[in-house]
Amino acid sequence: MAIQSPSLDLGAGAAVCATPAAHARGYWQQVARRLRRDPVTLVCAAILLLIVASALAAPWLGLADPYKTSMIRRLYPIGSPNFLLGTDELGRDMFARLIYGGRLSLFMGVTPVALALLIGGTLGITAGFLGGRVNMAIMRVMDVFYAFPSVLLAISLSGAMGAGAENTLLALTIVFIPPICRVSESVTTQVRGFDFVDAARASGAGTLTIVRVHVLGNVLGPILVYATSLISVAIILAAGLSFLGLGVKPPEPEWGLMLNTLRQAIYVNPVLAALPGVMIFITSICFNLMSDGLRAAMDVKA
Amino acid sequence: MLLYALRRLIYLVPVAFGVSLLVFALVHLAPGDPISAIVPPDAPKEVVDKLKEYYGFDKPLPVQYGRWLLVTLSGDFGTSIGTGRPVAQEVGSAFGNTIILAIAACLVAFSLAIVLGTAAAYAKSRVVDRLVTSIALVGVSVPHFWLAIVLVIIFSVELGWLPPMGLGPENATGWRLDWPHIRHMILPTIALSVIPLGVMTRTVRSTIKEILSMEFVTALQAKGMNDRQILFHVLKNAAPVCLAVMGLQAGNLIGGSILIETVFAWPGTGFLLNSAIFRRDLPILQGTTLVLAFFFMMLNLTVDVIQTFVDPRIKRG
């Protein structure tokens, strides 16, 4: 769950291997071809697609009402008639809750990384390309956030702001901005040193044009790959915050929160109590394998 | 060497300043003002105002920050709202419990990771490599608090071999390594060690693989050295990178043990932080975060300095 420190040579391979933006289409076609030939990545993508699609389409799948409680049918075991995966501590259908749970769990994991990619990426590319004082200012602020272990920062922030999905999203976004910013900065600094940037400048291109045409195409790959590797961390962390009671509030179905409320049932129905964690595990392992596959396909050095 | 350490230390000053600013801001991120957390909602306005004055919350923020910083630097972290005991005392006793668990988890994770990672990098058969990378993948992907629950289900509920929670027999103080204490440490240690195990195994494997493909290894082979002699050179070259990641992982263990400590009711800093959050005990929240962040900074500094011992080429800064 800990955010791995971005190694500084992360972009080296990509910056060299990635073809300049003019040939970008050829590069992406190559990436797509490599991905199509990678069975592990394809299987993971399929599983994730299934989880996401069923979560999104949950209301139309004819599932039981995930909020409907019943005092008489609490903690039915797995395989009960009408309740495929049993019922939880309040008699709600587990299968429906696990499917519905994907909505919030995935949303809470993916959104912070996407937001952090936007903010951290922009900051990092700015710092890397402009260098000098701007770089100093941005990166020193990031150093402050780096002085906190990531989990501690997430928990302290959302703990201080109080429970709730919005606060968790905000806290997680803040946690993921610094690592993405650092990677973006180091990759951009490397790309900026290449001759084609000097050539573009010499032929009169403005800063924005250089960034848009010559830099972005070369840095986005490594940054994107790094960001995808954070998604599994984010999903586990978001579930962890809900597990502590800091994230999503009951009665919403969310995997981390379900693990928490089912903890009282481990003496009655232990397998049932562990089910939501299996969903988190599968999702996170698939995201990790996909990220690895993407890294290999895009030829980014780890 | 000493100069490098000193330079790093000086560089930490602005960072530490930023950290203190962020920790101070934690209290003001809280909804409402800090006083409303400790007084009943129907408290008369005079009482609230008096309390505000007493705690200095009526002053402008920069003044409040300055006062807080001065008081904190003198070692006074304030008083816990929940227990009325000094924050420093509460955090201090919890910190020891967190550390012992972290040390145990680091020992398990790092030693196992070095063996597994090296074996995978050297493995001629794909099976060994596949097996080790799968273990590493599980380590970085498993939600460790869920694993903690699963461990409790298997070893406490079903088998009844190990205790599901707590520090040890009644009135246990930790830091005593007899069987009743160790029994209580086994499950939390395993749950805590999976992430660093996964991360380190990956790091060791990829680092050693990269070094094995370097020319100096071929040169050593050409000189007639056997594998074991070469292994020494390889490990020496892998050490700086692995040490850096180990330092980060150790720090993350100490700062990130809150979920595991909550599952096992282990009275460490994470447990303290968790209960502080739900009692709205902001001084404890602030104090714990500050202590852990500073420990993390110092740990990283130490690792950086050790790195220069292991690899004299490192002259950064």
Q: Tell whether A76 is covered by a domain.
A: yes
CATH number of domain containing A66: 1.10.3720.10
* Domain hosting residue B181, numbered range: 87-310
pLDDT value of residue B37: 63
Of the candidates A7, A244, A281, which has its C-beta nearest B143's C-beta? A281
Q: Please count the structural domains in chain B.
A: 1
Q: Please count the structural domains in chain A.
A: 1
Angstrom distance (rounded) from CA B130 to CA B136 = 10
Question: Residue A60 above 90 pLDDT?
Answer: no
Of the candidates A3, A144, A244, which has its C-beta nearest B22's C-beta? A144
Mean pLDDT lowest among A8-12, A203-207, B117-121, B232-236:
A8-12
Angstrom distance (rounded) from CA A254 to CA A237 = 13
**How distant is the Cα of B256 from the closest Cα of chain A, in angstroms?**
5
- The residue among A202, A248, A299, A245 whose CA lies nearest residue A97 is A248
**How distant is the Cα of A149 from the closest Cα of chain B, in angstroms?**
5
Q: Tell whether A57 is covered by a domain.
A: yes
Q: How confident is the model at residue A6 (pLDDT cuts 50, 70, 90)?
A: very low
B281, amino acid identity: D
Q: Tell whether A2 is covered by a domain.
A: no
DSSP conformation letters of A88-109: -TTS-BHHHHHHHHHHHHHHHH
Q: Inform me whether the C-beta atom of residue A267 falls under 8 Å from chain B C-beta atoms.
A: yes
Q: Mapping DSSP to helix (H, G, I), strand (E, B) and coil, where does residue A87 land?
A: strand
Q: What are phi and psi of B69, to 5 degrees?
A: -65, -45
Q: Tell whether B22 is covered by a domain.
A: no
Mean pLDDT of A189-201: 88
Query: Searching chain B, which residue's CA lies closest to the CA of residue A244?
Result: B259
Angstrom distance (rounded) from CA B308 to CA B313 = 7
Chain A contacts of B141, Cβ < 8 Å?
Answer: 232, 281, 284-285, 288
ipTM above threshold 0.95: no
Chain A contacts of B137, Cβ < 8 Å?
Answer: 285, 288-289
Question: Residue A12 above 50 pLDDT?
Answer: no
CATH number of domain containing B199: 1.10.3720.10
Chain A contacts of B255, Cβ < 8 Å?
Answer: 148-152
Query: Which of A146, A155, A177 is the best residue to mutate to test the B interface, defined by the most B CB atoms within 10 Å of its own CB?
Result: A155
Q: Tell whether B151 is covered by a domain.
A: yes
Q: Tell whether A222 is covered by a domain.
A: yes
| Higher-confidence position of A105 and A30 | A105
Query: Searching chain B, which residue's CA lies closest to the CA of residue A139?
Result: B15
- Residue contact B26–A274, C-beta within 8 A: no
Q: Tell whether B46 is covered by a domain.
A: no
pLDDT digit string (tens) for A161-178?
888 888 899 999 999 999
Q: Tell whether B223 is covered by a domain.
A: yes
Q: Tell whether B201 is covered by a domain.
A: yes
Question: Residue A299 above 90 pLDDT?
Answer: no
Of the candidates B143, B152, B199, which has its C-beta nearest A2's C-beta? B199
Q: How confident is the model at residue A5 (pLDDT cuts 50, 70, 90)?
A: very low
Helix crossing, A132-146 with A165-192: angle to 10°? 140
A59, amino acid identity: P
Which tokens sit at A4? Answer: 């791995």
Mean pLDDT lowest among A137-141, A213-217, B56-60:
B56-60
Q: Tell whether A138 is covered by a domain.
A: yes
**Which residues of A, range 149-188, sit inside 8 Å of B by Cβ?**
149-152, 155-157, 159-162
pLDDT value of residue A230: 93
- Residue contact B149–A281, C-beta within 8 A: no
Of the candidates A5, A148, A232, which has its C-beta nearest B141's C-beta? A232
Which tokens sit at B196? Answer: 């660093």
Helix crossing, A270-297 with A94-130: angle to 10°? 30
Q: Mapping DSSP to helix (H, G, I), strand (E, B) and coil, where does residue A54 land?
A: helix
pLDDT value of residue A284: 94
Q: Tell whether B139 is covered by a domain.
A: yes
Of the candidates B137, B199, B293, which has its C-beta nearest A148's C-beta? B293
Of the candidates A5, A140, A240, which has its C-beta nearest B145's C-beta? A240
* Domain hosting residue A187, numbered range: 25-298
- The residue among B14, B257, B32, B27 whose CA lies nearest residue A157 is B27
Could you report the average pLDDT of every consecutive run of 10 residues in chain B (317 residues)?
Answer: 82 89 82 66 76 73 83 80 80 88 93 93 86 91 92 86 75 66 87 93 91 88 86 87 88 86 88 86 86 89 84 62
| Higher-confidence position of B118 and A268 | B118
Q: Tell whether A194 is covered by a domain.
A: yes
Q: Tell whether B262 is covered by a domain.
A: yes
pLDDT value of residue B171: 59
Q: Inform me whether the C-beta atom of residue A141 falls under 8 Å from chain B C-beta atoms.
A: yes
Q: Tell whether A8 is covered by a domain.
A: no
Helix residue spans in A149-269 (DSSP H): 150-161, 165-192, 195-202, 207-209, 216-244, 255-261
Q: Tell whether B57 is covered by a domain.
A: no
pLDDT value of residue A78: 78
